[in-house]
Amino acid sequence: MTAPPGRLAGRVALITGATGGIGLATAELFAREDAQLVVTDIDSAAVEALTERLRADDADVIGAELDVSSAEQWARVIESTRRRFGGLDILINVAGVVDWAGVEAAEQESWDRVIAVNQTGTWLGMKTAMPLLRASGAASIVNTSSVLGLIGSGGAAAYHASKGAVRLLTKTAAVEYATRGIRVNSVHPGVIATPMIQGILDEQGDQQPDIVRTPMRRAGLASEIASAMLFLASAESSYVTGAELVVDGGLTAH
């Protein structure tokens, strides 16, 4: 008996930050759901390894090195996508970096890098991919913000600023393209066990302050964020645009 097609069959999806944490879980899930994939990351060796592994599982995938803060690299990746697949239906902006310093402690070099990757990189991805996405007629963009794009923590000034910007950039793009065949939504993860914070989780365990404040009293899994990405990328969310999908175990509920 032939298995039914996946939820993303016939759809081309580009994922940034695809080799670690949320991006990796999303790439693996989208491959299982039969998407044609473009996986990107700044680490070219990791991209090559992921591409080979997904191909071994019969995924239709290409990989590309991408520093999301570079307009030139974005242009190359989008052109490679057009040549290989003929178009693009889904853009998943995951790539991000963090600096935990507060307002006074933050150094401008670190501030500029966080803004360049998290905020400018998200904008560049949408801007560069938009011609292909408009041609799709039924495209979806999912931008990764954070609960720290919704609430303050008293630190991580650049990260908060960038993720708050991603939230409103998403909303204005959703309004701009609502009648042009492109939905744009943001996902707001809470405390997720990814390489970005794994050292903190290992050190503090279930006494990590944000876990203590999370009603579900645990860190989330990257796969749980990937499932939210899949919903927003698929036709199941066809009337959802400009939305904030918060996946945080209840952290922002109180």
239 catalytically annotated? no
Q: State the amino acid at position 63 in one-letter form.
A: G
Q: What's the rounded Cα separation, in Å, for the pair 154 and 160?
A: 10
Cα four-point dihedral sign 241, 247, 251, 254: positive
Geometric angle at alpha carbon 52, from 94 and 95, rounded to 5°: 10
- Write the CA distances from 142 to 33, 181, 213, 230, 253, integer angstroms: 17, 14, 27, 9, 22
Classified as helix, coil or strand, 181 is coil
Convert 68-106 to b/e letters by CB count within 10 Å (16 or more is b): bbbeebbeebbebbbeebebbbbbbbbbbbbbebeeeeb
> 30, 74, 85, 159: which is the annotated catalytic residue?
159
Provide the annotated active-site residues: 159
